[in-house]
């Protein structure tokens, strides 16, 4: 089974979006360079960020998001973002009315079931969990192997927290990746296991 990775861009004070759900300048690093990160030609980063981010993106088989993110994005019009094969949506509600049942989106109740479904779909590829409420729940359930964050030099002051509702202490290993890009610091931590 592939690793489960909690990921997002984040402000230095720990937020992945403002109170209005907007990321503000958190994604500015994705247009701060001259190396195209995807086929769109819109996302351009520094060579350093490309060398770190592109191989990571290529390993992702499935992304897990909450229903809130799904609704905010309009379900990406039924096409998983970034060329990912499948999206698992954690929700207590069914798919929206009129939703294409053939779209590679899976609506699952609860984070444990979502991770199991995602790992089944991903095989040996990575399962990415969007940071925030769902990511925090997956971490609290002990199902996250690695935390990746792209720390952006901005203080948002308030908003949606990277670790969402986590109420307990969770220890991470020392960062095994610390890479400075344009307007971003890429960090990777393995989650420390008890015992």
* Domain residue ranges in the chain: 4-190
Q: Which whole number is the average pLDDT over 113-120?
A: 97
Residue 62 pLDDT: 97
- Give kind and range of the element (H or E) at residue 147: strand 146-152
Q: Which whole number is the average pLDDT over 183-192?
A: 97
The CA angle 60-51-83, to the nearest 5 degrees, is 30
Give CA–CA dist 155/160, Å, rounded.
Answer: 13
Give CA–CA dist 104/180, Å, rounded.
Answer: 34
Q: Between 111-122 and 133-140, two packed helices, what is the crossing angle to 10 degrees?
A: 90
Q: Which whole number is the average pLDDT over 152-160?
A: 97
Give the number of other CB atoms < 10 A from CB of residue 61. 18
Give CA–CA dist 146/70, Å, rounded.
Answer: 23
Residue 195 pLDDT: 57
Please tell me whether the overall predicted TM-score, pTM, comes out greater than 0.85 for this model: yes
* Chain mean pLDDT for the chain: 94
Residue 40 pLDDT: 82
Q: Which whole number is the average pLDDT over 138-155?
A: 97
Topology of domain 4-190 in CATH is Dihydrofolate Reductase, subunit A (3.40.430)
Percentage above 90 pLDDT, the chain: 88
Give CA–CA dist 8/20, Å, rounded.
Answer: 17
Residue 39 pLDDT: 83
Question: Could you tell me if 105 and 80 are in contact, meaning their C-beta atoms sit under 8 angstroms apart?
Answer: yes
> SS3 of 158, please?
coil
> SS3 of 143, please?
coil
Give CA–CA dist 115/138, Å, rounded.
Answer: 8
Give CA–CA dist 191/121, Å, rounded.
Answer: 23
Residue-level length of the chain: 195
Q: Which whole number is the average pLDDT over 139-152?
A: 97
Query: How much is the CA Rg of the chain, to the nearest whole Å?
Result: 16
């Amino acid at each position: 089974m592939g690793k489960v990775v909690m990921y997002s861009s984040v402000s230095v004070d720990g937020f992945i979006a403002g109170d209005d759900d907007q990321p503000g300048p958190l994604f500015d690093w994705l247009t701060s360079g001259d190396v195209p990160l995807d086929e769109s030609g819109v996302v351009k980063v520094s060579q350093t960020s490309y060398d770190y981010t592109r191989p990571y993106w290529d390993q992702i088989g499935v992304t897990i998001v909450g229903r809130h993110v799904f609704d905010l994005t309009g379900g990406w019009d039924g096409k998983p973002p970034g060329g990912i094969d499948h999206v698992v949506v954690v929700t207590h509600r069914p798919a929206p009315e009129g939703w294409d049942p053939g779209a590679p989106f899976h609506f699952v109740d609860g984070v444990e079931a979502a991770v199991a479904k995602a790992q089944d779909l991903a095989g040996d590829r990575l399962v990415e969990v969007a940071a925030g409420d769902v990511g925090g729940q997956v971490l609290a359930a002990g199902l996250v192997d690695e935390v990746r964050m792209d720390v952006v030099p901005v203080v948002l002051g308030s908003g949606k927290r990277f670790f969402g509702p986590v109420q307990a202490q969770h220890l991470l290993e020392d960062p095994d990746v610390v890479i400075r890009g344009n307007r971003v610091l890429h960090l990777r931590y393995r989650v420390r296991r008890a015992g």
